[in-house]
Amino acid sequence: MPRDTVVDSLVDRLRDDVLSGRYPPGSYLPPERQLAAGYAVTRTSLKHAIVRLAQLGLLETRHGVGTRVRDYERLGGPELLPMLVSTVGPAWMAEIFEVRREVGAQVAAKAAANATDAQRARLRELEAEVREAADGNAAQLAECEIHRVIAAATGNRVYGFMVNALLNAYMAVREGFTHAFGDPAAAADRLAPLVRALCDGDAEHARAAAAAYFAETEAIMLDAR
């Protein structure tokens, strides 16, 4: 295999071993020669993989000491969520859904008060895209875009980054939730009260509609898992 492919594969394997607890936070990885032999790769490929995982915030190399697993739950950022969901999924998805409900309601209230006419028009267009989607996959992607527009409508870019982090984690495993959009018209009906509240500029109504929408969709998403 090309070296880049080997490194990509090794990054995935090492990442999974770290996040699954084989190498727990605070522990040191085995010496490079031993670790490379264990993964059947060259030390050069291993070094490249370690550099990439250090850039992701999972490892840190101390010259003359070794490579240690960082306490990523204490020091890591939301960019780790997609990896955590892909590797050790269910527990993290439960927490992501909880934040989705709580943050989503606040974001919706803020967006209702600050959305521009163009953003309101875009929300209506996306609701129509969900309704008219050819299948659950297309409806799901249109629904994700609605949340990005809502976040942008708050006028606060930090909310945008928070929503992006949650969506990125969700997108890593979205195939497992496509069934919730299998009937695009029904999915659009669930969205309609939220979009209407946002377009009406009613912050408290939007907050309540968002909380109800997230709770309902979560129940549907988890029902078939």
pLDDT tier at 223, thresholds 50, 70, 90 = confident
Alpha-carbon dihedral sign for residues 136, 137, 139, 140: positive
Which of 69, 102, 124 is where one domain is finished?
69
Q: Which residue shows structure tokens 């892909």?
A: 86
Average pLDDT over residues 158-168: 90
Q: Are residues 145 and 173 in the same domain?
A: yes
Six-digit token string for 171: 């997108």
Q: Are residues 110 and 216 in the same domain?
A: yes
Terminal Cα-to-Cα distance of the chain (whole angstroms): 36
Do the domain assignments include residue 1? no
- How confident is the model over 207-218, as pLDDT tens digits? 999 999 999 999
**Distance between CA atoms of residues 22 and 87, nearest Å:** 12
pLDDT score at 2: 46
Which of 69, 91, 110 is where one domain is finished?
69
- How confident is the model over 2-24, as pLDDT tens digits? 456 889 899 989 998 998 889 99
**DSSP H or E run through 21:** none
**Cβ-based neighbour number of residue 153 at 10 Å:** 25
Average pLDDT over residues 184-201: 97
Do the domain assignments include residue 61? yes
Q: Are residues 64 and 167 in the same domain?
A: no
Domain containing 184 equals 78-223
Q: Are residues 13 and 93 in the same domain?
A: no
Do the domain assignments include residue 31? yes
- Domains identified in the chain, total number: 2
- pTM: predicted TM-score of the whole model, two decimal places: 0.78
Q: Are residues 32 and 119 in the same domain?
A: no
Which ranges of 115-202 does DSSP label H, i.e. alpha helix? 117-132, 136-153, 157-171, 184-200
Q: Are residues 114 and 170 in the same domain?
A: yes
CATH value at residue 175: 1.20.120.530
Q: Are residues 91 and 10 in the same domain?
A: no
pLDDT score at 134: 97
Beta strand extents in the chain (DSSP E only) = 59-62, 66-69
**Distance between CA atoms of residues 10 and 6, nearest Å:** 6
